[in-house]
Structure 1
Amino acid sequence: MGSQAADDHSNGVSSRHYIRWDSEGVQSIPSNEAEDIKAVAEMINSIQRTQFNKARHCFSGTHARTQGVVKGKLIVGDLSSHLAQTLFSHPGEYPICMRYSTEPGDPGLDDRIPQPRGLGIKVFKVDGEMFEAGKDFPTHDIEFNSTPALDLADAKTTREIVDLRIKYGKARDEVHNTHLTSIRYYSQTAYRYGDFIVKYSLVPSSEVQKKQYQEAVKPDSHPDNILSSWVKEFYANNEAEYLFQVQLCENLEDQPVEYAGKTWDDEKYPWQTVAKIVVPKQDSMIPARKTFWEDHIRLDPFQGLKSFEPIGSPNRLRRVVYPASAALRHELNGRKEVNMTSIDQLPDGGYVEC
């Protein structure tokens, strides 16, 4: 990480024209977007109620199936000025906890069915101006998905697609079904990055993780919980390493912010490394951790740093849907929301006391 500034100078990425996050045309809100967002929030709550009627327990409207929860650290090195922004503005180490998940809202979904996978990170000991909702707890949440583009590309499209999923059980089954620790994860949507705009990505960097990607789930021979079993086996024997990379916005037509259904070309707009994540060996499926996260935690970047604000239509939708989904989950389960201020609040065993 210490040589990043020199590397950036040699390959010219530090001198490119990066668009400011507050430039004209970055965000444009359709007149009927609020109506679409309200409809989606109601649909997500409907999915939650359907699962509650089956399991007599309420889960998140998306990413309901927990595949593992682990603790680690985010390490930021000495970066060039265009990269030294927001959370990555100066060298340091931050405690983190991470949850691996499967995207749909069904907590019992068979691991042998190919689906997009998720990864959520809560970063602790964060400094900077926070959104009002998160001003009392110094954390920032970062969310990833295993597919680079988002089919729920804007509020209108999301309303249409979620409606189809509710009516017909439509699922996405074209993804490579493999070890969750070997997958590259993406933000899918755009974020403010200090002065600029980025999409971000998490890249497995250890040789063990890279090798694991070649293995696929075998529906005829693997059990229905194979993915969480693989995560548990991996962390029992290995340390995980990831590179945290960002892709800066230079052309709004080629790199739209409002529409998340288009992948930003990484040959034209290269990924640049800003940090490393290290996760030591541990038990990835401690029952108290799983229960604590599912029943008490809300992952929401709109409670974090203003300088790392989610932007664009899908994120304006999330700003409404996330609290609505969490509120219903906590209400139906009779559990209070816990806004963590320290990684020590994540249980290492025993029982959940909340």
Structure 2
Amino acid sequence: MIERMPSRFIPYTPDIEAACPQFDEMLQTVIAKTERFIAESVTAEGTGLAVRDAHAKGYGIVRGEVEILDRLPTEYAQGIYATPGRHDALVRFSNGSPHAGADARLGRATGLALKMFGIGGPTLLEDEPDTGTFDYALINAPVFFCNTVKHYLFIQELFLDAPKYFAQGPPGRHRFYREFVTGKGSLEPDEWAWEEFLAFLTVAQRPLVNVLLSTYWTMGAVRHGDYIAKVRLVPDPGRAAAVVHRAIDLTSAEEVFRPALVAEMRERPYAFDIQVQLCADLERMPVEDLTVEWPERLSPFVTVAKLRLPQQDISAEETLTKMDALSFTPWRVTAEHAPLGEIMRARKEVYRRSSLQRHRLNHQQRREPHSAAEVSP
């Protein structure tokens, strides 16, 4: 009999997450501010519609297929990745800002939201457990600039008011930075948010490229069956090398990201590798500190699936309308892939309440599509 060697990766246990006694109270404050912003956005954002409180501006919805690979190592063949196969998918590319308007006003943070179809098992959303869909909500940076709901209370206010700060030039920008670090005066000097601010600068300085050329991360940690992980989507090297519409010049037009994406998808197919990085050291690869990039020397990313985007025309305005009606949340997953950490826990109810209000104000039916073809034929 061959004895199985123990894994070098940290096993998932519920006690890896820290509990904050004021979590529920502070979360309700965040939700109230979010709902107020969404209600005011109908007129404030100039679109005539309520917008998302993050990733408000979508650049396009793309139809695709996810192939879960065969013969994965045991530690990686977990949850949905334990069963090889193909799943239809939708991808929403977006800007990370809570505002709409010209691309030059919105910053460099971009997002990729992935929805897979035909995934068995109940989701972690109690009000829609049997959708058969599975979401990732990813950003183009390996770190995030907020760890706790306490900090999110002032960071949320700063980002919702960011255009007002930056419209004032250097003095407004300096005030934004100062109020970020000091928590708008609420933090003692020993508690100033320096790590969060440095992570914000990392996100804010991402390269200006076609959204197809960015790598996208889960932001926080997630459960990966018996283990703990971060997930990223990285451009397939061969497909990335073939991209013609590469650089983004924010001064060239009001809309630059969407035209580059539309042009590229019209001309050729594309692909991303879906990769998993397993936690091997909780101190150097923390769950609760999102400002820390997990070192790849401790645990490399391993490809577990391929996301393929066929050549297609995504230019129709109708697809933008259908895209806007979609809902993406990191909690529309099975229990084996549960988001981990305080900020990830907060996203569950904030995303749900945000989606409910946005759909209600926009008179949109809120339901999960049964197939990618319903949205992008």
What TM-score do you get using the length of structure 2 for normalisation?
A: 0.82
CA distance 1:176–1:15, change in 2 (3 Å): farther
Q: Hey, what does 1:32 align to over in structure 2?
A: 22
Q: Which amino acid aligns with 1:127?
A: G
CA distance 1:124–1:214, change in 2 (3 Å): closer
Q: Which amino acid aligns with 1:199?
A: K
Q: 2:13 aligns with which of 16, 19, 22?
A: 22
Q: Hey, what does 1:67 align to over in structure 2?
A: 59
Superposition deviation, residue 19 in structure 1: 1.6
1:1-354 aligned within 5 A: 16-22=7-13, 24=15, 26-54=16-44, 55=46, 56-78=48-70, 79-111=72-104, 114-131=107-124, 132-169=126-163, 173-210=204-241, 212=243, 215-220=246-251, 222-294=252-324, 296-348=325-377
Q: Hey, what does 1:6 align to over in structure 2?
A: none
3-state SS of the aligned residue for 1:94? strand
CA distance 1:254–1:192, change in 2 (3 Å): same
Q: Which amino acid aligns with 2:158?
A: L
Contact 1:179 1:213 (C-alpha < 8 Å) held by counterparts:
no
3-state SS of the aligned residue for 2:259? helix
Instruction: Give the distance between the partners of 1:197 and 1:285, measured in 2 at CA.
Output: 39
Superposition deviation, residue 128 in structure 1: 2.7
3-state SS of the aligned residue for 2:233? strand
After superposition, give the CA deviation of every residue in 1:99-158 in whole Å (9 maximum; x if it has no partner). Answer: 000011112242475321000011000023433333221111111100110112222221
Tell me how large the CA RMSD over aligned residues is. Answer: 2.1
Superposition deviation, residue 334 in structure 1: 1.7
**5+ unaligned residues in a row in structure 1: which ranges?**
1-13, 349-354
Instruction: Give the distance between the partners of 1:316 and 1:326, measured in 2 at CA.
Output: 16
Superposition deviation, residue 231 in structure 1: 0.3
- Mean Cα deviation higher: 322-331 or 37-46: 37-46
Superposition deviation, residue 44 in structure 1: 2.1
3-state SS of the aligned residue for 2:103? coil
3-state SS of the aligned residue for 1:130? coil
3-state SS of the aligned residue for 1:325? helix
CA distance 1:156–1:229, change in 2 (3 Å): same
CA distance 1:48–1:130, change in 2 (3 Å): closer
3-state SS of the aligned residue for 2:295? coil
CA distance 1:332–1:269, change in 2 (3 Å): same
Contact 2:225 2:337 (C-alpha < 8 Å) held by counterparts:
yes
Q: Which amino acid aligns with 1:272?
A: V
CA distance 1:112–1:47, change in 2 (3 Å): closer
Instruction: Give the distance between the partners of 1:127 and 1:205, measured in 2 at CA.
Output: 27
3-state SS of the aligned residue for 1:302? coil
Aligned residues between the structures: 332
Q: Which amino acid aligns with 1:178?
A: V
Contact 2:122 2:130 (C-alpha < 8 Å) held by counterparts:
no
CA distance 1:90–1:168, change in 2 (3 Å): closer
Instruction: Give the distance between the partners of 2:160 and 2:366, measured in 1 at CA.
Output: 27
- Mean Cα deviation higher: 138-147 or 211-220: 211-220
CA distance 1:238–1:347, change in 2 (3 Å): closer
Q: Which amino acid aligns with 2:9?
A: Y
Contact 1:120 1:144 (C-alpha < 8 Å) held by counterparts:
yes
Contact 1:65 1:109 (C-alpha < 8 Å) held by counterparts:
no
Instruction: Give the distance between the partners of 1:194 and 1:163, measured in 2 at CA.
Output: 36
Instruction: Give the distance between the partners of 1:211 and 1:343, measured in 2 at CA.
Output: 26
Identity of aligned pairs, percent?
A: 23
**5+ unaligned residues in a row in structure 2: which ranges?**
167-199
After superposition, give the CA deviation of every residue in 1:8-57 in whole Å (9 maximum; x if it has no partner). Answer: xxxxxx96421222253x11111112222222222222332332123331
CA distance 1:88–1:287, change in 2 (3 Å): same
Superposition deviation, residue 347 in structure 1: 4.3
- Mean Cα deviation higher: 112-121 or 257-266: 112-121
